[in-house]
Structure 1
Amino acid sequence: MDKMDCDILKLLQDNGRMTISELSKELALSRPSMSERLVRLQEKGVIEGFTARVSLKEIGKDILLLIQVSGLKVTLSDFEEVIKDEAEIIECHRVTGEVSYFLKAAVSDVNSMRALIDRLIPYGTINTSTVLNSPVPYRTILPDIKE
C-alpha cells in the first residue's frame, strides 16, 4: 500500500458513496487507474465491503450497552452461536483476561435491556454498562506507511 491507497481509504471512510469519477478528480488520478486500485484493495481484503452507518437513535434504539461476559457456563462455540441469533447484539469480541467477551448492544428501552440481560444470564456472569456519550463514535483507520 502506498500514500495514494491511504488517500483512497480516507475518502471512502469519510464518504463511502463517492463515485470513481469523484475519487479520480479529488486525487488527480485517471478513472481506469482508480478502478484498478479499488479492485486491488478489495481483492487484498483491505476493503471488506461498503455499508451505511445508521443512527441508532433515529431507528428507535435509544440505549447503547457494553456488556462484559465472564465465567461462561457453556462452551465458547455454544455461546457464540447464541449471540449470533441475538439481533440486539451489534458487536461481539472474544478477548483475553478475566472477561471472555465484550458485547455491544442497541436496545429501544429499559424493558428491552432487561429482557436481553435476562436472556444472557444463563450463559455466564453478565456486567452491563449503559453508554452515556460517545465522544469518538467512529474514526477513520489508515495503515502506517513508511515513506
Structure 2
Amino acid sequence: MNTTDTELLNLLIKDGRMSYADIARQLGISRAHARTRVNALVEEGVIEQFTAVVNPEKLGKAISTFVDLRVAPAALQQVADELSACPEVVSLYIMSDLQSLHIHTLTDTYTSFDAFVRERIFNRPEILSVDCKSLMSRVKHRRGGARL
C-alpha cells in the first residue's frame, strides 16, 4: 500500500459508491488507474466488501447497550456463537482473557433489551458475571469504517 491507496481507501470509507471518475479527480490520477487500484485492493483482501451504513435510530433501534460477560472458558465459543445469532446483537468480540465477551446490542426499547437479557443471558449457568451499560451519547464513532 502506498499513499495513493490510503487516500483512495479514505474516500471509499466516506462514500463506498464514489465513481472511479470522482476518485480519479480527487486523487489526481486517471480513471483507469483508480479502477485498477480499487480492484487490486479488493483482490488483496484490503477491501472486504462495499456496504451501506444504516442509522439504527431511523429503524427504531434507539437503545444502544454494551454488555460485558464473563463466561466459563469451556463454554466461551458456544455462548459467543449463540449470542451472535441474536438479532439484538450487532457486534460481539471474544476478549484476550479468553473468558470475556464484549457485546453491543441495539433494541427499540429498554423493555425489549430486558427481555433479551432475561431470555439469552440470565438463565445460563456458564455465564459467570454480567456488566452492562447503555450509551448516553456518541462523541466519536467508526461509522463507515476505520479512518486510515
- What TM-score does the superposition give when structure 2 sets the normalisation length? 0.88
Aligned to 1:20: 20
2:53 is aligned with what amino acid?
R
- Which deviations, in whole Å up to 9, do the C-alpha atoms of 1:22-42 show, x marking residues without a partner? 111111111111111001111
Tell me the equivalent position of 2:147. Answer: 141
Structure 1 segment 71-86 matched on structure 2, within 5 A = 71-72=71-72, 75-86=75-86
Preserved CA contact (<8 Å) 1:14 1:140: no
Report how far residue 132 of structure 1 moved: 0.4
- Could you tell me which residue of structure 1 aligns to residue 88 of structure 2? 88
Unpaired stretches in structure 1, ≥5 consecutive residues: 143-147
Whole-Å Cα distance in 1 between the matches of residues 47 and 98 of structure 2?
33
Secondary structure of 1:24's partner? helix
Deviation at 1:129, TM superposition (A): 0.5
Which runs of structure 1 show a deviation greater than 6 angstroms over 4 or more consecutive aligned residues? none
Provide the residue aligned with 2:56 in structure 1: 56
Mapped contact 1:60–1:108 kept (Cα < 8 A): yes
| Map of 2:68 onto structure 1 | 68
The SS at the match of 2:131 is strand
Q: How many residues align?
A: 142
2:62·2:109 contact (CA, 8 Å) conserved in 1? yes
Give, in angstroms, the shift of residue 14 of structure 1.
1.2
Alignment correspondent of 1:132: 136
Cα deviation 1:49-73 (Å, max 9, x = unaligned): 1111111111000100100010338
Aligned to 2:121: 120
Q: SS in structure 2 opposite 1:75?
A: helix
CA distance in 2, matches of 1:76, 1:140: 28
Matched residues in 2 for 1:5 and 1:73: separation? Answer: 41
Deviation at 1:80, TM superposition (A): 2.1
Q: TM-score, normalised by structure 1?
A: 0.89
In structure 2, give the amino acid aligned to 1:141: R
- Whether the 8 Å contact between 2:73 and 2:98 is mirrored in structure 1 is no
What whole-Å deviation, never above 9, does each CA across 1:67-113 have from its counterpart, x for those lacking one?
00103386222112212320110000111248611000100001111
Segments of structure 2 that go 5 or more residues without pairing to the other structure are: none
